[in-house]
Chain A
Amino acid sequence: NAGVTQTPKFRILKIGQSMTLQCTQDMNHNYMYWYRQDPGMGLKLIYYSVGAGITDKGEVPNGYNVSRSTTEDFPLRLELAAPSQTSVYFCASTWGSGRTDTQYFGPGTRLTVL
């Protein structure tokens, strides 16, 4: 199993540009999450999904959108990039459904908005 994969690894955007961060898991997990990590701030939840077709906001959803059309994929969309979105983005997945199992994290995408 590849686990959780994220693309791209690095990206530089100009203010106002758009992009999609890709996340795929091959563990047949129901629950998937997007976090952002800023230095000294820990990780903050952006959006999450408990199954295909179901998404919900986390703590810091403004400026982002998600979709979950399949169990495997959970892309994160930035529509109008702003410098405040410079961060490292992590996707994670877990079985869910009350199992309280480990969340498995991808390697991250480092995004810089200039």
Chain B
Amino acid sequence: AQSVTQLDSQVPVFEEAPVELRCNYSSSVSVYLFWYVQYPNQGLQLLLKYLSGSTLVESINGFEAEFNKSQTSFHLRKPSVHISDTAEYFCAVSRQGGSEKLVFGKGTKLTVNP
């Protein structure tokens, strides 16, 4: 079975500051890795994903995440955040070759203050 640990439940930062949201996973088989974002009162949207190839993946709005197999981590980073990045962020894994079921972490609430 797979599990995901998001180490911080809440992360407050000031606008234009850098941020890192941490995610570690546990699995005995190969996995795919995802970050989803949930804005208030909305469903989840895919931010970025790692399937294979380059271990550094990027989103269109400036976030990036690096897959580190030895540390079983997939931390999400952004060098300069905006007020509009305020949301809850979920790290998720799915087992390769499975039914693409996602196992989610508990989420990290990012609050960007002016």
Q: 1/0 per residue B32-48: CB within 8 Å of A?
A: 10000000001111100
When distances are taken between beta carbons in the complex, the residues of chain A under 8 Å from B42 are 107-108
Whether A90 lies near B46 (C-beta < 8 A) is no
Whether B101 lies near A33 (C-beta < 8 A) is yes
Closest Cβ of chain B to A33, distance in Å, is 7
Stretch binding the partner chain, chosen from B13-21, B57-65, B79-87, B102-110: B102-110
Considering the chains assembled together, what is the distance between the CA atoms of A98 and B52 in angstroms? 14
Whether A42 lies near B43 (C-beta < 8 A) is no
Question: Which residue in B43, B100, B105, B107 is a CB contact (below 8 Å) of A31?
Answer: B100
Question: Which residue in B44, B51, B103 is a CB contact (below 8 Å) of A105?
Answer: B44
Considering the chains assembled together, what is the distance between the CA atoms of A29 and B1 in angstroms? 25
- A41 CB-CB contact with B under 8 Å: yes
Whether A105 lies near B43 (C-beta < 8 A) is yes
Question: Which residue in A31, A35, A43, A106 is a CB contact (below 8 Å) of B99?
Answer: A31
Whether A40 lies near B106 (C-beta < 8 A) is yes
When distances are taken between beta carbons in the complex, the residues of chain B under 8 Å from A56 are 99
Q: 1/0 per residue A89-111: CB within 8 Å of B?
A: 01010101010101101111000
Q: 1/0 per residue A33-71: CB within 8 Å of B?
A: 101000011111100101000001010000000000000
**A45/B101 contact (C-beta < 8 A), A90-B43, A107-B42 known:** yes
When distances are taken between beta carbons in the complex, the residues of chain A under 8 Å from B99 are 31, 48, 50, 56, 96
Considering the chains assembled together, what is the distance between the CA atoms of A68 and B93 in angstroms? 25
Can you give 10 A-B contacts (C-beta < 8 A)? A33-B102, A40-B9, A42-B90, A42-B106, A58-B101, A96-B100, A100-B32, A100-B96, A100-B100, A105-B44
- Nearest 10 interchain pairs by C-beta: A105-B43, A42-B104, A42-B106, A102-B46, A105-B44, A43-B104, A107-B43, A42-B107, A106-B43, A100-B32
Residues of B near any A CB (own CB < 8 A):
4, 9, 32, 42-46, 49, 51, 90, 94, 96-97, 99-107
Residues of A near any B CB (own CB < 8 A):
4, 31, 33, 35, 40-45, 48, 50, 56, 58, 90, 92, 94, 96, 98, 100, 102-103, 105-108
